[in-house]
Structure 1
């Protein structure tokens, strides 16, 4: 009888000191910019150019994560044409939350062990006391990213590792980060025709926008596993948290998602705004996306808690 091969380990390697320094820089510098944003707005504000650029790059990068990294690459909620596939990977990279292969491997691991030992960012790993949940909130929100362990992509994302286009996008993650900061600055300078426009656009549409997007995304990991409504049965504590629905482009309908992970729409109940699902519908109508896994009434009924 042939023995069954042992599963690949959860962790592929541990980050070195240099990699940790780069990681902390890209996490903490935008966060510092966000902290000083309020007194800066109070003191001299931002221009309409800064605001417009921040909004445009926020939407582009957020949809890169929600439609691309999450619903497409992680869960296969639809099939995409090759150009769309590459654009979604680049757009997600410009959110500066990690390269496409790293992000997908980490998130598939999260679903495999949701709110159990092995989940990289569950807020429930330390217990249920107030102190444990406070520690868990920090860990789920951003603390887990400061760890040295890296999820094994060969185990959790072998399809992406085998894809030449995605290996190329992954390899040049540094370039997409650079563009995420440089493009708003360049456009700010051109539109205002001033060097000061370069500086303010870099700050607001670059650093602050990235930090704000970070915390909206991270809140799905933390808040949406602690509080909210749970209309559907799932194996974990994922919950729907409506205040984040618009900013997260529909990702905060998290209970619905964990109940049916491969569904292209997360906001499946009446009144649940899901911008990402609308974008996927548009891609489908344009012929760029096919085999979209839309919610089915009988499946939803079977999942009701």
Structure 2
């Protein structure tokens, strides 16, 4: 029997791509359920965090673990998964390359290869047909935008149509170490969730210390980081100032800058995707760019694509077009 090109392509993906990362190009029902649990359980923990904080269930150790684990995972996503693996904003020596892959995996935002493939596809079709998570997917009316914001924030992750990883992330699939880290996503998730209660239990020498550390340093931390990251997909493509020319609706949202480690200066990023710095204007905090600069000074990162003044000015909008 002769197979058509479509059948051959589908057969090739079934044989090749699933080896790249957990779940391959299609999500099975078990993965859908797991994803739902990882979204709802941490979010419920975050909701419960406010009244709990006013009572007896939090300590400085818990908050320290939350902050430390939050920014390790956040910078793993922003510097590693995003600026390095997706856009090649700099080159990294192998130890840093591996460290960034693991740090990003600790954020519990999905396997490395899938994350990068989705984001590269997002940039190819940004806010147009084919974009995995544009808030403008359903139209520009208020009801359509409300539906679109939900889709861009969370809904798109349950879409059965997945980005073909062999097409959008072949460079990562070819690297055995990165492919292994990507396939070990469940392991890194367990490590990420287990570290805070392990530290909390050992420091306090109590099960209660382990429990509160798990609540704050694991559940609340993951929920907060998830929603900040998803806000870049939703909020930063719906509102914000647009001082730079881009072919989409990406905007700068200042109040997300610290929590997003500089990612919410999203308009410059879409105007110049390979730039290692997103916050290029005075007062724009970008901790990810600061860490990349330190890596460069230490010799761990090189060929960093820092934006020059001429490059920034070439992408600037006419003043009348800079609207919130």
User: Is the aligned partner of 1:137 residue 2:155?
Assistant: no
The answer for the alignment partner of 1:98 in structure 2 is 110
The answer for the alignment partner of 2:198 in structure 1 is 186
User: Is the aligned partner of 1:259 residue 2:271?
Assistant: yes
Q: Find the aligned partners of 2:65 and 2:57 in 1 and give their Cα distance.
A: 15
The answer for the alignment partner of 2:50 in structure 1 is 38
Q: Among 209, 213, 232, which residue is 1:201 paired with?
A: 213
Contact 2:76 2:105 in 1 (8 A): yes
**Which range is displaced more, 37-46 or 80-89?**
37-46
TM-score, length-scaled by structure 1: 0.95
Q: Among 263, 281, 291, which residue is 1:279 paired with?
A: 291
1:170 is paired with a residue of what secondary structure? Answer: helix
2:162 is paired with a residue of what secondary structure? Answer: strand
Deviation at 1:207, TM superposition (A): 0.6
Contact 2:57 2:212 in 1 (8 A): no
User: Is the aligned partner of 1:166 residue 2:174?
Assistant: no
**Which range is displaced more, 62-71 or 36-45?**
36-45
User: Is the aligned partner of 1:122 residue 2:134?
Assistant: yes
Q: What runs of 5+ residues in structure 1 fail to find an aligned partner?
A: none
Deviation at 1:298, TM superposition (A): 1.2
Deviation at 1:20, TM superposition (A): 1.0
2:54 is paired with a residue of what secondary structure? Answer: helix
Contact 1:92 1:100 in 2 (8 A): yes
Structure 1 residues 291 and 107, CA gap change in structure 2 (3 angstroms) = same
Q: Find the aligned partners of 2:207 and 2:56 in 1 and give their Cα distance.
A: 17
Deviation at 1:284, TM superposition (A): 0.2
1:149 is paired with a residue of what secondary structure? Answer: coil
TM-score, length-scaled by structure 2: 0.90
**Which range is displaced more, 105-114 or 43-52?**
43-52
1:92 is paired with a residue of what secondary structure? Answer: helix
The answer for the alignment partner of 2:20 in structure 1 is none
Contact 2:25 2:165 in 1 (8 A): no
The answer for the alignment partner of 2:282 in structure 1 is 270
Aligned residues: 300
User: Is the aligned partner of 1:112 residue 2:124?
Assistant: yes
Deviation at 1:26, TM superposition (A): 1.6
Deviation at 1:149, TM superposition (A): 2.3
Q: Among 94, 97, 101, which residue is 1:89 paired with?
A: 101
The answer for the alignment partner of 2:305 in structure 1 is 293
CA RMSD of aligned residues (A): 1.7
The answer for the alignment partner of 2:314 in structure 1 is 302
